Each structure stands twice: as structure tokens, then as C-alpha cells.
């Protein structure tokens, strides 16, 4: 409950600081981790944070943004999440001029000129929670700025691809993840497989 109060109306501030502090604590606690071989990734709000982080730091060697948000203004009225989502989450909305200005300040797209991190984008064509226009805007902006980017679109799938999508598509999604990591953070895919084998 305390965190919900701390983050209300402050996307891209305390949340980024919290995530990076946790990341730094992991690096400090586990010396086998190599800070020169890292990636940032997430889906939905985690995709928003991935986009936001790469627009504010270049410390990661690769990014994977899945069913993400990049433009909080155009998100309003196009997502199935409801008319008042931004009011509830941020105390703002796109149909009021002052709110729109502040939503733009919290939009990763505003800072896309700063992005240098090679980015894999995964999005489902039938995603109505985070409409695919969000991914299309982010992809286009990254391409225009010369950032290495790959956009993987899944037809016939929605926001739940990772949890309840068709099995072959869920597998392809994970393969795309590993292939991207192997390209930009060499050895990461093999390390992930070794970790999985150890846990098994």
C-alpha cells in the first residue's frame, strides 16, 4: 500500500530508481554477475519500464520489450483498460491539456532520441490492453534513430500470449528472446540454459 502511494502519478521516477537499486544490489551481492554483459526486459508495464530505462541510461547491452507502452497520450482511448485508467494510476488524462503535457513527460517516446540499446520488440497483433500501435510507434522511432531493433509480431494472439498463447507461438517467443540475447550479450543464452538445467 505504501508503494502504491509512492508511485501514484510518478511513473518513470521512483520505479526506475527502485529497479536499478535492486539490480545494483544483485551485482554487489553476486560477484559472478558481469555488469558489462547485462540486459533489461519486461512485459506490459515492464515493457514500459524497459523503454523508459533505455531512454535514460545506456548501461545495458540489450533490451527486450514485450507488449509495451511508449506513448501515454495515444494509449488513452485505444486500450481496453478503461476510460479512467490514467486518472486512477496517475491522476491525469489525455483529454485535458495539462494532463496531456504531463503524460508526454512520462512517455518513453519523448526520450527515444537518447536510446542506444539494441532492442527486441515482441507484440501480439490482437493485444487490446497494450495496443500494437504502441509497438509500431516505438519501432519506427528506434529505426529512425538508427538503433538496432527487431520487431516480432504474433498474429492471432493477445495480451496473454506468454501465459495462454498457442504453445508453438509461446515457444517461438522464448526462442526470439534467447537469440537476441545471444546476439548482443554473447554467452547469455548458454548461461540461462545451464541455470535451467541446474534447477531441473
pLDDT of the residue at 3: 83
CB 54 within 8 A of CB 178: no
User: Looking at the predicted structure, is the pLDDT value of residue 195 above 80?
Assistant: no
pLDDT tens digits for 12-30? 999 999 999 999 999 999 9
HSE value, Cβ hemisphere, 13 Å, CA-based, for 149: 23
DSSP string, 4-57: HHHHTT-TTTHHHHHHHHHHHHHHHH-TTS-TTS-EEEEETHHHHHHHHHHTT-
Tens of pLDDT, residue by residue over 96-122, are 999 999 999 999 999 999 999 999 999
Give the pLDDT of residue 199: 55
Lowest mean pLDDT among 71-75, 95-99, 166-170, 194-198: 194-198
- Give the 3-state secondary structure of residue 122: strand
**Active-site residue set:** 44, 159
Amino acid at each position: 500500500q505504501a508503494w502504491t502511494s509512492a508511485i501514484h502519478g510518478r511513473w518513470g521516477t521512483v520505479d526506475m530508481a527502485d529497479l536499478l537499486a535492486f539490480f545494483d544490489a544483485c551485482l554487489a551481492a553476486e560477484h559472478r554477475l558481469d555488469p558489462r554483459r547485462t540486459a533489461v526486459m519486461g512485459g506490459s508495464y515492464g515493457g514500459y519500464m524497459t523503454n523508459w530505462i533505455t531512454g535514460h541510461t545506456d548501461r545495458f547491452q540489450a533490451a527486450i520489450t514485450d507488449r509495451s507502452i511508449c506513448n501515454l497520450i495515444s494509449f488513452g482511448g485505444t486500450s481496453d483498460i478503461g476510460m479512467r485508467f490514467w486518472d486512477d494510476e496517475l491522476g491525469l488524462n489525455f483529454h485535458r491539456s495539462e494532463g496531456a503535457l504531463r503524460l508526454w513527460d512520462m512517455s518513453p517516446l519523448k526520450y527515444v532520441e537518447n536510446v542506444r540499446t539494441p532492442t527486441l520488440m515482441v507484440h501480439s497483433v490482437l493485444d487490446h490492453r497494450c495496443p500494437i500501435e504502441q509497438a509500431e510507434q516505438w519501432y519506427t522511432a528506434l529505426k529512425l534513430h538508427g538503433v538496432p531493433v527487431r520487431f516480432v509480431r504474433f498474429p492471432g494472439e493477445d495480451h496473454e500470449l506468454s501465459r495462454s498463447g498457442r504453445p508453438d507461438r509461446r515457444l517461438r517467443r522464448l526462442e526470439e528472446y534467447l537469440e537476441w540475447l545471444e546476439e548482443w550479450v554473447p554467452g547469455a543464452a548458454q548461461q540461462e540454459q545451464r541455470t535451467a538445467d541446474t534447477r531441473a
